[in-house]
Chains A and B, each alone.
Chain A
Amino acid sequence: MNQPTDEKRIHTGELNRRDFLKRVGYASAVALAAGGLGLAFYDWKGPAASEGQKALTGLGDYTPRALASGGAKMAIIRGTDRAAMFAQGVKALGGMESFIQKGDRVLLKVNAAFATPASLGATTHPEVLAAVAGLCFKAGAAQVLVTDNPINNPDSCFEITGLAGAARATGARVIAPRAALFSPVSLPGGKLIQNWPVMAGVFQGVTKVIVVSPVKDHQRAGASMTLKNFYGFLGGRRNVFHQDINGIITELALLLKPTLCVLDGTVSMMTNGPTGGSLSDLKDTGTMVVSTDPVAADAVGVELLGRSLADVPYILMAQAAGAGQADYRLLNPVLLDTRA
């Protein structure tokens, strides 16, 4: 049987084998490119386990698993140089590598509540943020995120407090709150945190959480330190919780188990908190606490404020709820002095 010539096939619209193979080749290349592109963007881990339309039940347990058994869980460091104090404190707990491993995505929860300069002591001091972020990167962290849902305008808060500058200087990234980051959370057994918007979105892909807080007087809560700092994860009209401030802080203590807590009492706000305003509200208390236990850290902070646990009821309430140890001496804290 005679094969039609190319010219005839063209005129009749028929394909020859060569054209067919070419077209198949082109189509395959396009399909492979599209597939490859999709593969590049594909999230292998995928989102965390879904509970359908139900609210989250917490923000996660980020306690360090690799911490040597019997090792120190708390260091109390005296001094004035925040970077040196943190470095010595974390070294006493086994070094930053005990908490941060290569490739970790670390979330630093700071107190950026107010758009006031660091000198007024109402927010986490940028020096301690820089110290913590720097050691995270040194230990191999792939990314360090810094977040808070401040009382005031977030951009102003991060900039005026110097926290944004400290983050930029160390390569950390500030995550300001936005609606898409909030999800409903219901704490099992909780009375207050029920279907309440919480900034859960910032935990996406996060493997370690470090809470970095100042030591402050607080008009309503008695004191604002580590546990009160968790308040900055809440969204919505959270001021309604001021009516049961001890209850909400206790529930927040159960919402998140951080990897590490850094309580900076180098300078403490002794009166007129949480905003302060006068430099006379501040006192050089020359102490930093580095601890895996937020309740124990706050128990030390209470002493820096010259108060007792009875003055700050949520600490014992958090202990009773199982969030930590209020008698910090039972943790056999390592006592250090950077000035020695």
Chain B
Amino acid sequence: MARGKTKVGTTQRLVGYGILALLGLIAVWLLVQQSRFNPAVIVAMRAPQLQGRPQVVSGRALTATAALIPEVSGFTFLAPMESYGPENLSDKIDGKAELYLPAGFKEMSCRSFGLGASGGAHVEVFLYDMGLPQNAYAVFSGQRRPGSPGISLTANAYATANALFFTKGRFYVEIVADRASEALQSFLEAYAAALLANLPSEGETKDGAALFPKEGLALDSVRLSATDAFGLEGLNNMLTGEYSLKGGKATAFVTQRDTPEQAQAEARRYLDFLAANGYQKIETPGLPGDIPVLGLDNSFEMVFVQGRTLAGVHDASSLEAALELAAKLETALRGSREPAHR
């Protein structure tokens, strides 16, 4: 049976086109909605911003450290430069930001490298601008790995099996590899030399250990607490060093204030703090001056002032150790005119 083309009226044609257009619109709408689908749509009211991401900060002030991280032959970039300021440092180092922020942190840049010559080692370089040399020393000393040898890279530098840590002026630097080898260490030192060449020459922080009497001192235990030393709010810029003595273990401390009156007031404040925490005065006849000794259980504290310098002994394990260290410290400070940190 022969079949011809069915005639379609104008109205039918228009209705047909209209339906097709409507179906097309529905399809487009479905695609758009699908692309916006939120698995948690039932409760999502908004799409909150994610935790801050590492980012290249474009502001001129925050790229100052980035410009100082060098390109060194053999080190190939694995990732873009990252820079952080006080507002987002924790996006990079999480809770450790709490160590840097109170110590005057300004900005940090870091970059990852591959080191093909050392079996494809992964190396990351961190350059912190801490604002002042003593701030850089505070974060350097606060993280010092016990037993790690000092190196001659700068006045404050040491190496561990896989990393270098040092300060120069207001900068604190970490160069960290994911493995340990002697060959790798020489590459890290080469990179450190290139980086140091980029850093401006500024006043260096004196070796804090120079203030303390040498005998019995663990050199790698010397720390500078930028804030709230011994848990006392506002007791800032405190140098400490740990001792092993005949009478036991003890910690020496030294800090400096602008005037002798301020040093005296700070000493009283610390003594009040100790008393409020249960320490009691211990009578120790024969001590020069009126240096107070306080004790709680098997922990002993001594505090004294020399001019603008507040010093003493913290957490001595015996009265004998406290007295021995206090005597040595007082003598050492008399021979030292100006403590390095204030």
- List residues of chain A with CB under 8 Å of any chain B CB: 6-7, 10-11, 13, 47-48, 50-51, 53-56, 113-117, 119-120, 149, 151-153, 156, 160, 177-184, 197, 200-201, 204, 218-221, 224, 234-239, 242, 245, 271-275, 277-281
- Assuming A50-B43, A116-B178, is B124 touching A220 (CB within 8 A)? no
The residues of A that contact B179 with a CB separation of less than 8 Å are 119
Is B162 within 8 A of A279, CB to CB?
Answer: yes
The residues of B that contact A197 with a CB separation of less than 8 Å are 48-49
The residues of B that contact A182 with a CB separation of less than 8 Å are 40, 44, 47-48, 50
Is B145 within 8 A of A180, CB to CB?
Answer: no
Which residues 72-103 of B have a CB within 8 angstroms of A?
79, 90-99
The residues of A that contact B51 with a CB separation of less than 8 Å are 149, 151, 234-239
With CB as the reference atom, state the residue of chain B lying closest to A218: B95
Taken residue by residue from 1 to 22, chain B's Cβ proximity to chain A (1 for < 8 Å, 0 otherwise) reads as 1111011110000000000000
CB distance from B97 to the nearest CB of A (A): 7
Q: Indicate whether B336 reaches chain A with its CB closer than 8 angstroms.
A: no
Q: Indicate whether B282 reaches chain A with its CB closer than 8 angstroms.
A: no
Is B95 within 8 A of A221, CB to CB?
Answer: yes
Q: Indicate whether B42 reaches chain A with its CB closer than 8 angstroms.
A: yes
Which 3 pairs across A and B sit closest by C-beta, in order of nearness? A197-B48, A220-B95, A117-B178
Is B3 within 8 A of A10, CB to CB?
Answer: yes
With CB as the reference atom, state the residue of chain A lying closest to B101: A242
CB distance from B139 to the nearest CB of A (A): 11
A selection of 20 A-B contacts at a CB cut-off of 8 Å is A6-B3, A10-B6, A13-B7, A51-B42, A151-B51, A152-B91, A156-B54, A156-B79, A179-B48, A181-B39, A182-B50, A184-B45, A201-B39, A219-B98, A235-B49, A272-B143, A273-B95, A277-B174, A277-B176, A278-B160
Q: Choose among B4, B40, B79 the residue that contacts A204 (Cβ–Cβ < 8 A).
A: B40
CB distance from A268 to the nearest CB of B (A): 15
The residues of B that contact A51 with a CB separation of less than 8 Å are 42-43
Q: Choose among A48, A116, A239 the residue that contacts B90 (Cβ–Cβ < 8 A).
A: A239
Is A180 within 8 A of B42, CB to CB?
Answer: no
Q: How many residues of B contact A (CB 8 A)?
A: 54
CB distance from B108 to the nearest CB of A (A): 12
A55 to B1, CA, bound (A): 69
A200 to B54, CA, bound (A): 23
With CB as the reference atom, state the residue of chain A lying closest to B95: A220
- Assuming A120-B176, A280-B148, is B6 touching A13 (CB within 8 A)? yes
Which residues 29-50 of B have a CB within 8 angstroms of A?
37-50
Is B54 within 8 A of A153, CB to CB?
Answer: yes
Q: Choose among A156, A274, A279 the residue that contacts B160 (Cβ–Cβ < 8 A).
A: A279
Q: Indicate whether B180 reaches chain A with its CB closer than 8 angstroms.
A: yes
The residues of A that contact B8 with a CB separation of less than 8 Å are 13
A297 to B162, CA, bound (A): 31
Q: Indicate whether B112 reaches chain A with its CB closer than 8 angstroms.
A: yes
Is A275 within 8 A of B96, CB to CB?
Answer: yes
Is B145 within 8 A of A281, CB to CB?
Answer: yes
With CB as the reference atom, state the residue of chain B lying closest to A200: B40
Is B43 within 8 A of A275, CB to CB?
Answer: no
Name 16 extra pairs, CB < 8 A, besides A151-B94, A278-B176.
A10-B4, A13-B7, A53-B45, A113-B94, A149-B51, A151-B91, A151-B93, A160-B112, A182-B44, A183-B40, A219-B96, A221-B95, A236-B48, A236-B49, A271-B145, A277-B174
Is A183 within 8 A of B94, CB to CB?
Answer: no
A184 to B46, CA, bound (A): 8
With CB as the reference atom, state the residue of chain B lying closest to A160: B122
Is B98 within 8 A of A220, CB to CB?
Answer: yes
Residue of B43, B79, B124, B180 with most partner-chain A CB within 10 A: B43
CB distance from B201 to the nearest CB of A (A): 26
Q: Indicate whether B116 reaches chain A with its CB closer than 8 angstroms.
A: no
Q: Indicate whether B203 reaches chain A with its CB closer than 8 angstroms.
A: no
Q: Choose among A7, A180, A275 the residue that contacts B47 (Cβ–Cβ < 8 A).
A: A180
Q: Indicate whether B147 reaches chain A with its CB closer than 8 angstroms.
A: yes
Q: Indicate whether B28 reaches chain A with its CB closer than 8 angstroms.
A: no
Q: Choose among A116, A235, A280 the residue that contacts B50 (Cβ–Cβ < 8 A).
A: A235
Q: Choose among A6, A11, A119 the residue that contacts B178 (Cβ–Cβ < 8 A).
A: A119
Q: Choose among B95, B112, B163 the residue that contacts A245 (Cβ–Cβ < 8 A).
A: B95
Taken residue by residue from 106 to 126, chain B's Cβ proximity to chain A (1 for < 8 Å, 0 otherwise) reads as 000000100000000010100
Q: Choose among A184, A219, A274 the residue that contacts B43 (Cβ–Cβ < 8 A).
A: A184
The residues of A that contact B7 with a CB separation of less than 8 Å are 11, 13
Q: Choose among A151, A204, A221 the residue that contacts B92 (Cβ–Cβ < 8 A).
A: A151
Q: Indicate whether B52 reaches chain A with its CB closer than 8 angstroms.
A: yes
Q: Indicate whether B53 reaches chain A with its CB closer than 8 angstroms.
A: yes
Q: Choose among A53, A54, A178, A280 the residue that contacts B145 (Cβ–Cβ < 8 A).
A: A280
Is A177 within 8 A of B50, CB to CB?
Answer: yes
The residues of A that contact B124 with a CB separation of less than 8 Å are 116
CB distance from A180 to the nearest CB of B (A): 5
A153 to B176, CA, bound (A): 19
CB distance from B253 to the nearest CB of A (A): 21
With CB as the reference atom, state the residue of chain B lying closest to A232: B51
Q: Indicate whether B287 reaches chain A with its CB closer than 8 angstroms.
A: no
Is B122 within 8 A of A184, CB to CB?
Answer: no
- Assuming A11-B4, A120-B178, A181-B40, is B49 touching A274 (CB within 8 A)? no
Q: Indicate whether B199 reaches chain A with its CB closer than 8 angstroms.
A: no
Is A219 within 8 A of B95, CB to CB?
Answer: yes
Taken residue by residue from 136 to 162, chain B's Cβ proximity to chain A (1 for < 8 Å, 0 otherwise) reads as 000000010101100000000000111
A113 to B95, CA, bound (A): 11
A114 to B94, CA, bound (A): 9
A248 to B278, CA, bound (A): 31
The residues of A that contact B147 with a CB separation of less than 8 Å are 280
